[in-house]
Homo-oligomer: A and B are copies of this chain.
Amino acid sequence: MSGAPRNPADDDSAGRSIWTRPQRGARGPAPTHSRDEIVAAAVALADADGLGAVSMRAVAGALGMAAGSLYRHLSSRDDLLDLMVDRCVGELRPYPAADGTWQDQFLLLARRQLALYQRHPWLPDAIARRMVPGPNTLAHFDACLGLLQPVRAGVAAKFEAIAMVTGVVSLFARSAAAAGTVTFDHVDLAAYPHLAAAFAEPPSAPPAEDLFERTLRSLLTGLLATDRPG
């Protein structure tokens, strides 16, 4: 049985996920493109034209190779997306040294996350899929837990808080990207009195600049009320 050629990329016995798997085999010819090159090309495509532009054929084409060849390096498109996410999360490094209250530090990190999401608008969507955390993502989690060390709360609460902050940051990124996108044109406002009144009002000032900071500070106190341990 089985003179069939096996593919290391979908070897379930030795390394089941993309993170525990050799980037290349030890026997054959050297790959013409490294894993990093592939992921970088995919990220460039996503930055330019969104996640939808990251098709196996497009990524392969950008590197001058055939679509099927990608499966020598990855076992699926999901793997590629996981790699893309982790690569970009790596841009959060290095993590700044401790300075100020833990709230201040967490807020600084959140700001850097926001900038990251604006640099790569597809990131929130890619993260929203169920994904297997890579080394950079784990490092990010670790750094967050480090910041939260002085907080007297259970780990479950801390995890929840970290996830929620990440989520809210992505909401801010999305709302900034979609500002003015939603259109109420050609809508009969007669049936919606409050909506009509809102549009009748003189255009108000744009949201305060410190909205991000204020929102996140409120969120943190709500999530990690320090007066109740565990």
Chain A residues at the B interface, C-beta cutoff of 8 Å: 16-17, 20, 125, 128, 130, 132-133, 135, 138-139, 141-143, 145-146, 149, 154-160, 163-164, 167-168, 171, 174-175, 178, 181-184, 186-187, 191-195, 197-199, 201, 203-208, 211, 214-219, 221-223, 225, 228, 230
Q: Are B182 and A171 in contact (CB under 8 A)?
A: no
Q: Provide a sorted-by-A list of 30 A–B residue pairs whose CB atoms are within 8 angstroms.
A: A17-B186, A20-B186, A125-B128, A128-B128, A130-B181, A138-B184, A138-B187, A141-B195, A142-B192, A142-B194, A143-B194, A145-B195, A146-B194, A154-B207, A155-B204, A156-B203, A156-B204, A156-B207, A159-B198, A163-B175, A164-B168, A167-B168, A208-B228, A214-B222, A214-B223, A214-B225, A215-B222, A218-B221, A218-B222, A219-B219
Number of copies: 2
- Please name 9 further chain A to chain B contacts, defined as beta carbons within 8 Å, in addition to the given A130-B181, A138-B184, A208-B228, sorted by A numbering: A20-B186, A130-B182, A141-B192, A143-B194, A158-B198, A159-B198, A167-B174, A168-B168, A214-B223
A12: min CB distance to chain B, Å: 13
Q: Are A178 and B145 in contact (CB under 8 A)?
A: no
Given contacts A214-B225, A218-B219, contact A164 B156 (CB under 8 A): no
Q: Are A215 and B204 in contact (CB under 8 A)?
A: no
Q: Are A195 and B164 in contact (CB under 8 A)?
A: no
Point out the residues of chain B lying under 8 angstroms from A149, CB to CB.
194
For the complex, what is the distance from the CA of A8 to the CA of B139, rounded to whole Å?
Answer: 54
Point out the residues of chain B lying under 8 angstroms from A178, CB to CB.
130
Given contacts A168-B171, A218-B218, A218-B219, contact A194 B154 (CB under 8 A): no
